[in-house]
Amino acid sequence: MNRLLSVIEKKDVLTQYRDTPIEHLLEYHNLGRSFEDYSKAEMLIGMCMDNRKHLHIPDNFSFIIRAGGANLRYSEFKISYAIAVGEIRCIALIGHNQCGMVNLVGRKDIFIKGLVELAGWSVPQAEEHFMSYAPMFEIGNEIDFVLNETKRLRLRYPKILIAPLLYRIEDNRLYQIKES
């Protein structure tokens, strides 16, 4: 966690994010900035589907894509749409600690049992489903994944400002991730 940079005051926002919607996101969520009115989205936020996370942002401020682990690999058309049609120029990629997409193999039995008992699947169906998809959605370490996904997206969309952030479940705050 020593790669996390807190935002307690406006001056804590990294210089590359100042005067951008990334700075506004950090101010809204962490610093209680008064909400402004937005008629169109200023940015795209990619974040995990986890129900423990809720952003404090105004209506219409951003497009939001929620995907397990903040893994946007399979959401590129939506990202492209937000850029091309929505005219957004920056993306906040927000991972979080205690993510369920870390160590999926450790949840294999729970996953299979849940599909059998709750969805009516057979054990072989549930096992095959897990084995087919878990490798695509395993993210490893949350911070490393967000940094790698940020690099991947920067290569794909070189003119878009992309900020790697982490949401800490314990304090419900956003942190900037220090890049090497």
The CATH number for 63's domain is: 3.40.1050.10
Q: How confident is the model at residue 1 (pLDDT cuts 50, 70, 90)?
A: low
Mean pLDDT score across all residues of the chain: 96
Q: Are 35 and 41 in contact (CB under 8 A)?
A: no
Q: Are residues 160 and 71 in the same domain?
A: yes
Q: Are residues 52 and 83 in the same domain?
A: yes
Q: Are 167 and 146 in contact (CB under 8 A)?
A: no
Q: Are residues 146 and 131 in the same domain?
A: no
Nearest residue to 80 (alpha-carbon basis) of 138, 7, 153:
153
Q: Are residues 108 and 93 in the same domain?
A: no
**Tally of structural domains, the chain:** 2
Domain coverage including residue 163: 4-101+140-177
Q: Are residues 66 and 119 in the same domain?
A: no
Residue 82's H or E segment, with its range, is helix 76-84
Percent of the chain beyond pLDDT 70? Answer: 99
| pLDDT of 140 higher than 70 | yes
Q: Are residues 64 and 152 in the same domain?
A: yes
Q: Are 35 and 28 in contact (CB under 8 A)?
A: yes
Q: Helix, strand or coil for residue 31? A: helix
Q: Are residues 118 and 47 in the same domain?
A: no
Mean pLDDT of 127-156: 95
Mean pLDDT of 164-172: 96
Q: Are residues 89 and 149 in the same domain?
A: yes
The pLDDT of residue 178: 96
Residue 129's H or E segment, with its range, is helix 123-137
Q: Are residues 24 and 84 in the same domain?
A: yes
